[in-house]
Amino acid sequence: GAINMLGLAKRRKAKIFQASTSEVYGDPTIHPQVEEYWGNVNPIGIRSCYDEGKRCAETLFFDYHRQHKLQIKVARIFNTYGPRMHPNDGRVVSNFIMQALRGEPITLYGEGLQTRSFCYVDDLVEGFIRLMATGDEVTGPINLGNPGEFTIKALAEMVVAQTGSASKITYQPLPSDDPKQRQPDISKARALLDDWQPTIALEQGLARTIVYFDGLLKSGLA
């Protein structure tokens, strides 16, 4: 898909955007993660198809930029959430909210002490817009995410509290290669994207997202 779109952009002389991911950092050995970090990815692990697919796409984008002078913009996205997520998309925020609203046990893996940084969708989109408005010299990759860092257990407890759910937290074995820490260093985004930084705190964003999913359930759409 990436190479087909790059070929199209080359033919049409179009600027092209790559929605990359923090997963390119794998299970990081440095914290927080900076764009210069090459990552710690298991190339044959159970998660590697997504991780390595995004890493390969970034490689192709920069090859086309170097060889064909293609205008590229590459953003590395950290755990985005918000209204209009699919209730069954398998992401941790949607999983926890749906389980809590249904009164089902909330599933944590390992001890729930692995950390993630959650960025509300409106903040992310603003970052996209500012990145696309930069000059040709700004190619990225640029981290776009909220540097607020939370354990998955803290997220589950926050969801239970905000929904008023009676759901209990249950624990399952930690999957192989699950990253232990994830937090973006957004210094480059602040410097290059007109002082961009997230403005929606996790508590506020969760409240908006819970209202959305609650509406889906009450209307029979989830």
Q: Would you say residue 176 has pLDDT above 90?
A: no
Residue from 25, 50, 109, 212 carrying the catalytic annotation? 50
How many other C-beta atoms can be found within 10 angstroms of the C-beta atom of residue 21?
20
> What letter would DSSP give residue 13?
T
What are the boundaries of each domain within the chain? Answer: 2-218
pLDDT, residue 161, reads 97
Query: How large a percentage of the chain has pLDDT more than 70?
Result: 100
* Residue 178 pLDDT level (bands cut at 50, 70, 90): confident
pTM of the model: 0.94
Residue 47 clears pLDDT 90, i.e. is over it: no
pLDDT band at 170 (very low <50, low <70, confident <90, very high): very high
Sequence-distant (6+) residues with CB within 8 A of 219 are none
Cα–Cα distance, 56 to 180 (Å, whole number): 23
Average pLDDT of the chain is 96
**Distances, alpha carbon 80 to alpha carbons 61, 84, 109, 146, in Å:** 23, 12, 20, 9
| 50 classed as catalytic | yes
Segment 128-152, tens digit of pLDDT: 999 999 999 999 999 999 999 999 9
Rounded-to-integer distance, Cα 165 and Cα 103, Å: 6
pLDDT at 68 (0 to 100): 97
In this predicted model, what pLDDT tens digit does every residue of 203-212 receive, in sequence order? 999 999 999 9
CA distance 89 to 83: 13
User: Does 221 have pLDDT greater than 90?
Assistant: no
**CATH code for the structural domain at 2-218:** 3.40.50.720
The H or E element that residue 170 is part of is strand 169-172
What pLDDT band is residue 67 in, cutting at 50, 70 and 90?
very high
DSSP string across 14-77: --EEEEEEGGGGBS-SSSSB-TT---B--TTSTTHHHHHHHHHHHHHHHHHHHHH---EEEEEE
Residue 173 in tokens = 């074995």
Beta bridge partners of 76: 20, 143
d(CA 144, CA 20): 10
Query: In the beta sheet, which residues pair with residue 26?
Result: 40
